[in-house]
């Protein structure tokens, strides 16, 4: 993707970042400001999934890791992004990736669902706090999306993708590009009056 942007005359770069490492998260935001001179928008799109199974079978270390990546990571990122937007662009937009699993009980992925539901609350709080400054904060809640994460779940629980698709009116998982389109809209000026929302991009799973 970066090569395509550069070939078209744009500027693109990447930084390896570990959401469980606050210093690397802040460094990634700093690199964006260094490269572009400002920060207008940010898409916090990363997560760690747990081993599928009941919550009493999850180790404390795994629970802590899921919360560190899926909740603390976006909190650290948003704090750094808000500071950078304030210092440069002055106003902007942030989108966090939640999950349709945050909108219901999630017995197969209880720590993951809990972290994502907490992220919804953090998103709403940030929207209320920073809206007066012109900083919009929203989340998307994807349904089944054909990524390495869903591949890992399918490997651990064979047949889960078919079962999830059977619960989805559109009858299939999303291509990652379909999720990106929703995030791009929320980050754009076309969504200039949208903040504090969790947008379902789930093929109708929670209709």
Q: Per the residue annotation, which of 36, 112, 130, 193 is the catalytic one?
A: 112
Backbone dihedral angles phi then psi of residue 6, each to the nearest 5 degrees: -65, -40
In order of 6, 81, 195, the CA distances from 22 in angstroms are 29, 13, 25
Shortest CA distance to 112 belongs to which of 124, 97, 101?
Answer: 101
Question: Is the Cβ–Cβ distance between 13 and 63 less than 8 Å?
Answer: no
* Residue 76, beta-bridge partner list: none
Shortest CA distance to 70 belongs to which of 100, 49, 94?
Answer: 49
Task: List the structure tokens of 169.
Answer: 């009116």
**CA-CA distance, 81 to 17, in Å (whole number)?**
14
**CA-CA distance, 134 to 126, in Å (whole number)?**
12
**CA-CA distance, 77 to 28, in Å (whole number)?**
9
DSSP state of 108: T
130 is catalytic: no
Handedness of CA 128, 204, 144, 156 (dihedral sign): positive
| Residues labelled as active-site residues | 112
């Amino acid at each position: 993707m970066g090569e395509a942007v550069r070939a078209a005359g744009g500027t693109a770069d990447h930084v390896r970042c570990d959401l469980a490492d606050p210093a690397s998260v802040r460094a990634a935001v700093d690199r964006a400001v260094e490269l572009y001179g400002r920060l207008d928008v940010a898409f916090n799109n990363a997560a760690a999934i747990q081993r599928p199974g009941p919550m009493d079978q999850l180790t404390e270390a795994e629970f802590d890791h899921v919360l560190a990546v899926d909740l603390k990571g976006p909190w650290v990122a948003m704090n750094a992004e808000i500071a950078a937007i304030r210092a440069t662009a002055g106003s902007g937009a942030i989108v966090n990736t939640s999950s349709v699993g945050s909108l219901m009980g999630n017995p197969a992925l209880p720590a993951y669902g809990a972290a994502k539901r907490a992220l919804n609350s953090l998103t709403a709080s940030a929207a209320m706090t920073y809206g007066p400054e012109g900083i919009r904060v929203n989340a998307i809640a994807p349904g089944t999306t054909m990524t390495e994460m869903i591949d890992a779940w399918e490997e651990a629980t064979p047949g889960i993708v078919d079962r999830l698709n059977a619960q989805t009116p559109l009858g299939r998982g999303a291509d990652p590009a379909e999720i990106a389109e929703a995030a791009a809209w929320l980050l754009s000026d076309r969504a200039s009056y949208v903040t504090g929302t969790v947008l379902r991009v789930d093929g109708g799973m929670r209709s």
